[in-house]
Structure 1
Amino acid sequence: MRSLVLHLNDAITARFGPASVKYAVTSVISVLITQAILFLLFGVMRVFSAVTSNVVATAVAAIPSYYLNRRWAWGKSGRSHLLKEVIPFWALAFIGLWVSIETVAWTQARASAAHVGHLTDAVLINLASLVAFGVVWVGKYVIFSRFMFGTPRVPDPVA
């Protein structure tokens, strides 16, 4: 099994590059943090509404996501550049959050209208959040790799 995983990792890394694989792993970590906090705050503790829980979960998960993306996935070190890295990262995080808020609010309204139980509602809310961020994920990768953290591409010399 271990050799299969290593072979798969090598094949994916060869096809998409190590930064792409690390970005995907970072995204999985961020999703796990977001989903755990969202389910804990809304599903278990019931301390906030679904939307507020989603905002808190996203904000908390964005912090390790930034550092993992910048340092580990894209190999950047030193001080972060406010205009080229920090502000665009948070802008993308808030775009994802906005899409997620709309999706979570819509889902909660439908779940309430259907009179589902709280556990079902909580699971649907988590799924809605996950789908919303999945939609934004590809766009963030392109922006991270081409404009923010990736190595600028040097055009091939004309032969």
Structure 2
Amino acid sequence: MSILKTVAASRRWGTFLRYAAGSLVATACSEIVLVAGYGLLGLGPQAAALVAWVAGAVPNYLLNRRWAWSGRDRAPAWRELLPYWVITLGTAALAIAATTAADGMVRHAVSDRGERSFLLGVVYLAAYGFVFVIKFVLFDGWVFSARRSSPATATAEGG
């Protein structure tokens, strides 16, 4: 079997694809809220990025937990919730810092707020794109790893 077929047939590949789809939904929510908050509502870059993070973090957690890693039961806070939110808050801090820095750099060069909101949207998206694979590795290997190795999960996944 070729390496490509082996990867495509693996459970982890399916998990990654579901994670990517959930991340796409969360990213769309965040981007819309960021651009609307900054461009239309006049929020500052930090406030817009924070509100955008919240708009994406909630659906992202639910989609990751329930769909990508097939979690239905109540999660112990110390085992799943705490590490998940630490990782997510870390990426939020990166995105907020990046959008704030970008706004500071372009504020005087680009006078149109609509153009600046577009640029902030690009920077915000780039920050999350940068950590996309890193987050998957951390979620799969640390946060949701008990789900992958539990007998109930293996049975539900056909393994």
Please report the TM-score for the alignment, with normalisation by the length of structure 1: 0.83
How many Å separate the matches in 1 of 2:140 and 2:8?
15
Deviations, residues 31-88 of structure 1 (Å, cap 9, x unaligned)? 0000011111111222x21111110110121111111101100111200120111111
- Check 1:89–1:99 CA distance in 2 against 1; reply closer, same or farther (3 A cut): same
Equivalent position of 1:89 in the other structure: 84
Figure out how many residues of one structure are paired with residues of the other and give that number. Answer: 143
Identity of aligned residues (%): 24
1:44-123 equivalences in 2 (<5 Å) = 44-46=40-42, 48-123=43-118
Which of 122, 128, 131 is 1:133 aligned to?
Answer: 128
Equivalent position of 2:155 in the other structure: none
Superposition RMSD in Å: 1.9
Please report the TM-score for the alignment, with normalisation by the length of structure 2: 0.83
Q: Where do 4+ consecutive residues of structure 1 move more than 4 Å? A: 10-13
How many Å separate the matches in 1 of 2:45 and 2:123?
11
Structure 1 unmatched ranges of 5 or more = 1-9, 154-159
Equivalent position of 2:156 in the other structure: none
Equivalent position of 2:149 in the other structure: 152
For 1:113, what is the secondary structure of its paired residue? Answer: coil
- Check 1:13–1:45 CA distance in 2 against 1; reply closer, same or farther (3 A cut): farther
Deviations, residues 105-145 of structure 1 (Å, cap 9, x unaligned)? 11101111213311110000011111111112111100111
Structure 2 unmatched ranges of 5 or more = 151-159
